[in-house]
Structure 1
Amino acid sequence: MEETTRKLIKSIHQNTNNPKLAWHLFKRILSSSPSSSSSSSSSSSSHHHHLIPTITRILLRHNMDNEINHLFQLTTSHHSHISILNILSQSPHHLDFAFSHFKSLRTHFPSTPLPLQLYHLLLRSSLQQNRPHYVTSLYTDMIQTGVNPETYTFNLLIQSLCESNALDHARELFDKMSEKGCQPNKFTVGILVRGFCRAGRTKQALEFVDGKMGGNVNRVVYNTLVSSFCKQDMNDEAEKLVERMTEKGLLPDVVTFNSRISALCRAGKVFEASRIFRDMQMDGELGLPKPNVVTFNLMLKGFCQEGMMEEARSLVETMKKGGNFVSLESYNTWLLGLLRNGKLLEGRSVLDEMVENGIEPNIYSYNIVMDGLCRNHMMLDARRLMDLMVSNGVYPDTVTYTTLLHGYCSKGKVFEAKAILNEMIRKGCHPNTYTCNTLLNSLWKEGRKSEAEEMLQKMNEKSYQLDTVTCNIVVNGLCRNGELEKASEVVSEMWTDGTNSLGKENPVAGLVNSIHNVSTNVPDVITYTTLINGLCKVGKLEEAKKKFIEMMAKNLHPDSVTYDTFVLNFCKQGKISSALRVLKDMERNGCSKTLQTYNSLILGLGSKGQIFEMYGLMDEMRERGIHPDICTYNNMINCLCEGGKTKDATSLLHEMLDKGVVSPNVSSFKILIKAFCKSGDFKVACELFDVALSVCGHKEALYSLMFNELLAGGKLSDAKELFEASLERSLLSKNFMYEDLIDKLCKDGRLDDAHGLLQKLIDKGYCFDHSSFIPVIDGLSKRGNKQQADELGRIMELALEDKTSDRTYRNGNSIFRRKLHKDGGSDWQDIINRDIGGNIALKTLKRVEKGWGQGSISSLLPQKNDYLDY
């Protein structure tokens, strides 16, 4: 029997990757009954205990939870249960499972003390999984069963309290350590100080160090305090602490200075950090530590984050000369800085330089470049980069594919994004929730509701973790589609069903009602703000207010975006007093005014003509360090122009041009040009038009506006000249009122000018309103130019008859559509010169009277209209 048992044990060890067989063999050993002697029984029991950790690890590795439950039932000894728990407590994904069996063990052995090591394992796992309630119950159990904690135990408990932000309780526990016969060590002090510093209570941490510890702490604690003071913009305190370290014989090391530099750079205070960095390089007499590679990398990262590329470039050269630019981390830091600041060509050269210097780019390096290319919408280059990665033996990961997918989505290319997702899955790279959410959001944004629902279904089938972001995307999509009631249902049901709400009597019914791995996610501020914005956009302000109250009742504090939504919609409706009440509530709740807040208020005040108050808001913006944007200026300019204060409006335009912070756009000039033309000051309007062309370029919107205003003001010659300039630049569109120009030229006796314009339209290949022919044909006929009148009449007749034709006839740039004749025809001049009847102009007029040729037709070469709603 002993030999058989040994063979079974050997087979178990040989079948660790075959858990079912290993489990079957283990049960055979348990069921075997030794028959020879008590020594044999003892040996079998020893084998049994020896195998417990082995079989537990095998079952755990293959997620065979049912078998582990059975294992607890098969092994009745206290020692065996502890062995199983020891293994379970070391698995981060089986903490709940471990605690379930811990409670079961307590039920069977209520007063038997457990090993302190097991408590430590469970405490450490609870900390790693952020389960403070488990920590509390473990400590209570230790006290009740008489297990004496050690200093390490207290360190774990204090760490748990600090991470739960129960700092006062952590301090009390620290004070009680001596009562339990345990003395705090340097780790205890470090844990408590770090907890206070993370909570922003650095001064209390320093008081604790000075009071309880008598200042007898190590350099690590001081470094923690120095870093925390720097993060909180308390540089003077940090300086004093560094001086104190020197006085106590704890000379600040490079870690101390790196902590200060890192904290300052994270806070955007790169100039202060560079001053310290410079001192480290130069002040050797003061005994300051020399910067190491970490110091250089921190400064390089800081310069790049603030866009200080010249300083960063100079630092890289210094690092290269000093032999400090040799690590992959340094190259990646510089690469990230270049790509994030739009220096794509330099980034590519850095990638080549890495290879030349024998530093192989890793997946992070390539992902940096991929992100830079996709941010600049260089998708073809991004695809080529992926091929380069594979050829260099670096295979794309989830981040690579997700970055590429996001790039396509940002350009609205959903088809290509879906292809990337399919390729990703096909290559064995599993998308994460962020990947799916990115595509899902793009589908909703593009209005492809059915595909979005299909995407949700696939996420469900593949057991992807749906989170609050997923729900927010669905809520936003429903609001975009006008399905506000259904969006509101999703929000309400999220409180009770988490992400299951997406499949409960809902527009997306049945999509997510069998989700695996669902995490209970409840609505957040973004969820409510999205719904409130949707309700406000359709004028349902009362319902939006109800949702706001519900949000507050759920202890969700609105942010500036939430308040701005109300302010904007109240101002759009002219309810300034309501907007101001929202503003007061906003400031009372600690939310500062944003640029959007000011723009909304200026828009509202402008609709009421309250100019003085608008200027006051602009002054207040500047005092608070908020710079006006183009929307601010355009709102101001529009309001001033409507109030007849064109001179003040022009001064704002000069302010934009002089300061150069905000560049005026097409809308800025359109507002002003309209205003001056309305007041009859065409000279200033034309000057503004010239400035607009130099600032914004030759835009069709500017030409058509200026032309129409000149025409309406009776400036026929100027209008004609501008119209011809538009034709030369191929800017003609339906926005030009050229029919009126031709008609007015004819009435003004300038028939040749009108005829010349028609001929230019024909030569340029434009399809246009054929009623424009009538006054010219009529004028030529009255003047006796029968041949020219008949020629224009034939062109007009053929163009009108051609509305049902499918053939295009060309000569040079001229394009006309015509019906096919029996002889087919071959030359447009032959058709024009062919005598197809008597008074063609008269026939054409009759056709026009019946409604033919009405409405203008835009150019065959489509032009983009640059209309920007201010």
Structure 2
Amino acid sequence: MEQAKMVAKALLRNSDNPQLAWLLFKRSLATNTKDFFFSHHTFSLIVPILIRAHMFSQLDSLHHHLLLFPTPPHHALYSVVKMLAEAGRLQQAFSQFQSLRSRLSTPPPSIALYNLLIRTSIQENCPNFVSWLYKDIIFSKVKLQSYTFNLLIGALCGAGRLEDACHLFDKMRDKGCQPNEYTFGILARGYCCDGLVDKGLELLDLMGTMGLVPTAVIYNTFIAGLCKEGKDDEAERLVERMKEDGLSPNVVTFNTRISSLCKAGKILEASRIFRDMQTSELELPKPNAVTHNIMLDGFYRERMLAEAEALVVSMKRDSIFSSVKSYNIWLLGLVSNGKLFEAQAVLKEMVDDGVQPNAHSYNILINSLCKSGMLADARRVVSLMITGGVSPDVTTYSALLQGYCRKWKNVEANKILNEMTRAGCVPNAYTYNILLHSLWREGRTEEAERLMQKMNERGDGLDTVSCNIVIDGLCRSGNVDKAVEIVSEMWTHGSAALGNLGNSYIGLVDENRKKCLPDLITYSTIINGLCRDGRLDEAKKKFTEMLGRNLYPDSIVYDIFLFNLCKRGKISSAFQVLKDMERKGCNKTLRTYNCLLFGLGVTNQIYEMFGQLNEMKERGISPNVSTYNIILNSLCDGQRSEEAAFVLDEMLQKGVTPNLNSYKLLIKTFCRTGEFRPAQDVFEIAISVCGHKEVLYTLMFKELLLGGEILEAKQLFEASIERCFDLSSFSYKDLIDKLCINENFDLAHDILKKMVQRGCSFDPAVFMPVIDYLLSKGNKHEANELTERMLAMGSDVEVKNMVHKDEKQLNRGKKHKDIGSDWETILHRDDGSTMALKTLKRVQKGWGHSNLSLSHKNDFLDDLDAPYQMS
């Protein structure tokens, strides 16, 4: 015994040196093989040391060594399994447990160990282990406990196998185990999760026959289920029944109802209950911090910002706004409603109030800033995070990485990845998939393949998301057939199907990675790719295949078919798809209606479009700006300006802000029907909402000019000059010509002077009619000045054109190409009759030399003199 104590002391002294401790234990075990009591004395010390050091191969060695004893110490071996399971090492615990149970001579363990392994397997989401353990319990004839059955029933309900859970519940009574309140509570949650609340309520009667009284937890579970299904009256009746059973609805009951109503979008009903709880006359439970947090989250979800702000003030006043959870709800609510600057202020206020933000607090803001492209601000928040003593985690770095990838900033994205690695933060599958998506989007397929190989080698595995990224990339690059081939192979080989991409994947094998199967997104991607290529029949076959694989379509899949059928004008086929969609229980979404409206617009079925618009409103689906633009586009194509104005008015009344496209459609329609005053009104509204956008000025100018509103077009063009817009997008040459044709030469001259004074770049050809006019009026001095300006500008144009020709980039220099074309026409005109052209020759010869005469020999002079020599 003395020696055993010495070994024990040596193990304790070397607990931080597991390798030495293991050597000491092995030596003591070797010298005392026959006396296990001696080795068992140190056994409880060495096992935790090995587990903490992850020395599992040594534990396996110890396991096999002890099994060689004439009388193996089964109790000690089971204790190793127990310690491994309690340490969260389920795989190792289960491996050793199966090894023990495979020996016929091994006595069964206690039901307590089975319970521990079952509970751990459920927590680790290992249903196969649970099934094996249950069978082993039956085989070993260990007496089951109610607790064991509760664990198993809970696991089945959690896996969505309610029918099997009910079957096991019946077996429980057959085995002599009495169900308790926990059993019924587990089943109640199972029925509610499956949407079978009405059926589940029968459990309340069954409890009565067994002499059990339903608990408040069970009632609260059913009340929440009824509220979730929108059965508010039934929920009220259940509350009354709860009172009849002698149970007073507590704050949890009310929180359950309020939470369910908020999640269902019934915020006004939830708010009414919340107010009732605050009223002392009704003698209801007072709302606690959880109640307030639920309501705050609900207000923000429904974009009721004023109510949310008032609730925050109230919570602060009552000193219940002091937890990090409340602040995180506040932060999330602000950023989800686009209040990023306010959220940054809240984060600072949080620190000032003595509430330490956690990683989630910072990540809420960082993620939203990155999604909004405010990467510099996101980096500043990361700096604050580090200063505050909170280390950036994988979520932080993934958000930054995604932000830079969205902006196509690959160098910065690589820096983030390197920074992440240096910080000891291991990228996960989500992080790698962000990079993978970015590479495929940019067409960098070779780098994408290398990244996938790296993911595979690091053991992160290629999951279904990774495969979907590759499949989407192939479809977008026009390689749909290869994508279809990979999807088919995935059912057999999982991620190894990506080996079809090329030789770099030759080494992929199934056993070393997750089995990833196609999901609904996979088939949606393939179906969309086939439809985009016009291969609708093949897309339908993939749809049928998806159903055969027990993957049930959602509205997105149906919307893909609807959009592509509508785009091709196959409206009757689209409505057949719609009927099938409704038969399958898929509700129409905003996207669905927009697809239908688009299709009806393609076939000019305006009356039917308004019918669909009314239907979607009746179903509680609010049209968005895209919905109204689809309708506006159809009305504008039919020049139905009065109805288009009505739609715009409805948009504004409904709080749907028109976008640039909305205003462009309306301006064009009013102008094409000759209603220029309403068009001007829409233009004024547009610039007040969208700002002074060049595209609005260009459109309005073009329409006024086409409609013969020359003076109004002139005013708008002059305003565009003042705003320094790019004049190449304006048809100013037509404006000058029309003014000159109408003998408004002074106005044309004014425009030219303003363009020259502002230093605008424009086609020098527009000088010609004005120079002609000035010469006809005897204003030789002004004509000469304009001619000199025209020569100077013409020289610049020719130089630019030559540079573009030398660089073979004429197709990229559209502005210079257009200007050069008109200028060269002037230089080679052969009528020789206009005074402007004669002045051009005189100025060129007598008053100076063009820059081109120095840089391009005498080509310019030769071209200029040629017409006159001929005449």
Same fold (TM over 0.5): yes
Q: Is 1:836 the equivalent of 2:848?
A: yes
Measure how far apart 1:98 and its partner are: 3.8
Q: CA RMSD in A?
A: 3.6
Aligned CA distance change for structure 1 residues 323 and 434 (closer, same or farther; 3 Å): same
2:278 to 281, 286, 309: 281
Measure, in 2, the Cα distance between the counterparts of 1:848 and 1:680: 45
Is 2:40 the partner of 1:49?
yes
1:730 matched residue in structure 2:
724
The aligned residue for residue 380 of structure 1 is 376
Deviations along 1:362-394, whole A, 9 cap, x unmatched?
A: 333333343454454433232222222322323
Corresponding position: 1:185 with 2:206: no
Relative to 1, partners in 2 of residues 1:597 and 1:162: Cα closer, same or farther, differing over 3 Å? closer
Find the aligned partners of 1:660 and 1:690 in 2 and give their Cα distance: 21
Q: Residues of 2 paired with 1:790 and 1:516: CA distance? A: 86
Q: Deviations over 1:318-371 (max 9, x none)?
A: 333333333333333334333433444544454444444433333333333434
**Highest RCO, 1 vs 2 (Cα 8 Å, sep ≥ 6):** 1
Corresponding residue for 2:830? Answer: none
Query: For 1:315-354, what aligned pairs fall within 5 Å after superposition?
Result: 315-354=311-350
Q: Name the residue aligned to 1:241.
A: 238
Find the partner of 1:418 among 414, 418, 430.
Answer: 414
Which secondary structure state, in structure 2, belongs to the residue aligned with residue 108 of structure 1? coil
Residues 463 and 515 in structure 1, CA contact (< 8 A), matched pair in contact too:
no
- Counterpart of 1:579 in 2: which secondary structure? helix
Matches of 2:193 and 2:28, distance apart in 1: 53
2:570 equivalent to 1:575:
yes
Show the 5 A alignment for 1:688-699. 688-699=682-693
Task: Quote the Cα distance in structure 2 between the aligned partners of 1:847 and 1:455.
Answer: 60
State the Cα distance separating 1:438 from its structure 2 match. Answer: 2.8
Matches within 5 A, 1:622-661: 622-657=617-652, 659-661=653-655
1:523-534 equivalences in 2 (<5 Å): 523-534=518-529
Structure 1 residue 746 displacement after superposition: 3.3
Q: Is the 8 A contact 1:495 1:523 kept in 2?
A: yes
Change over 3 Å in CA distance of 1:24–1:201 after alignment to 2: same
Give the structure 1 partner of residue 257 of structure 2: 260
Aligned residue pair count: 817
Aligned partner of 1:444 in structure 2 is 440
Question: Residues 772-851 of structure 1: matches in 2 within 5 Å?
Answer: 772-780=766-774, 786-802=780-796, 835-836=847-848
Q: Which residue of 2 aligns with 1:552?
A: 547
Answering whether residue 61 of structure 2 is matched by residue 70 of structure 1, we say yes
SS at match of 1:734: helix
Q: Secondary structure at the match of 1:310?
A: helix
Quote the residue 1:543 is aligned against.
Answer: 538
**Contact 1:89 1:122 survives alignment (8 Å):** yes
- Aligned-partner residue type, residue 273 of structure 2: I
| 1:120-171 Cα distance to aligned partner (Å, 9 max, x none) | 2222222223333433332332233322212222222222232233333433
CA distance in 2, matches of 1:806, 1:639: 43
Provide closer, same or farther for how the CA distance between residues 776 and 110 of structure 1 changes in structure 2, counting only shifts above 3 A. Answer: farther
Change (3 A) 1:17 1:548: farther
Match of 1:753 among 747, 751, 776: 747
The CA deviation at 1:506 is: 0.2
Gap change, CA 1:768 and 1:402, over 3 Å in 2: same
Counting only pairs closer than 5 Å after superposition, residues 544-623 of structure 1 correspond to structure 2 as 544-623=539-618
Q: Which secondary structure state, in structure 2, belongs to the residue aligned with residue 251 of structure 1? A: coil
State the partner residue of 1:490. 486
Aligned residue for 2:148?
Answer: 153
Q: Give the whole-Å Cα distance in 2 for the aligned partners of 1:530 and 1:373.
A: 29
- In the TM superposition, residue 511 of structure 1 has moved relative to its aligned partner by 9.4
Corresponding residue for residue 666 of structure 1: 660
Which one-letter code corresponds to 2:600 in the other structure? Answer: L
2:395 to 382, 399, 409: 399
Residue of structure 1 equivalent to 2:386: 390
Name the counterpart of 2:705.
711
Gap runs ≥5 in structure 1: 35-40, 808-814, 818-830, 852-870
Aligned to 2:758: 764
2:220–2:256 CA contact under 8 A, matched in 1 = yes
Partners of 2:640 and 2:669 within 8 A in 1 = no
AA paired with 1:48? S
CA contact (8 A) 1:674 1:709 kept: yes
- Kindly report structure 1 stretches of 4+ aligned residues shifted beyond 6 Å: 2-5, 514-517, 831-834, 840-846, 848-851
**Aligned counterpart for 2:221 among listed residues 216, 220, 224:** 224
Q: CA deviation at 1:586?
A: 1.7
Alignment CA distance shift 1:427-1:833 (3 Å): farther
Output the CA distance in 1 between the equivalents of 2:446 and 2:615: 48
* Per-residue deviation, residues 299-329 of structure 1 (Å, max 9, x unmatched): 3333333333333333333333333333333
Structure 1 window deviating more from structure 2 (515-524 vs 558-567): it is 515-524
One-letter amino acid of the structure 2 residue matched with residue 32 of structure 1: T
Q: CA deviation at 1:13?
A: 4.2
Counterpart contact for 1:570–1:578, Cα < 8 Å: yes
Q: Which runs of 5+ in 2 are unaligned?
A: 802-815, 821-842
CA distance in 2, matches of 1:402, 1:756: 58
User: Aligned-pair distance for 1:686?
Assistant: 4.1
SS at match of 1:393: coil
Q: Residue 30 in 1 paired to residue 29 in 2?
A: yes
Q: Identity of counterpart residues, as a percentage?
A: 49
Q: Could you tell me how far 1:101 is from its partner in structure 2?
A: 3.8
1:626-646 CA-partner distances (Å, limit 9, x unpaired): 222333323323323333433
Per the alignment, do residues 33 and 356 of structure 1 end up closer, same or farther by CA in structure 2, a change over 3 Å counting? closer
Shift of 1:179: 3.8
How far is the alpha carbon of 1:679 from its aligned partner? 4.2
1:714 deviates by 3.6
- String of CA shifts for 1:735-784, please: whole Å, max 9, x gaps: 31112222333344344433333332222222222333344445555666
* 3-state secondary structure, aligned to 2:122: helix
Q: Cα–Cα, structure 1 residues 50 and 7, in superposed 2: closer, same or farther, change >3 Å?
A: closer
How far apart are residue 109 of structure 1 and its match? 1.6
Instruction: State the shift of 1:186 in Å.
Output: 2.6
State the 1:78 CA deviation.
5.3
Q: What SS does structure 2 have at the residue aligned with 1:177?
A: helix
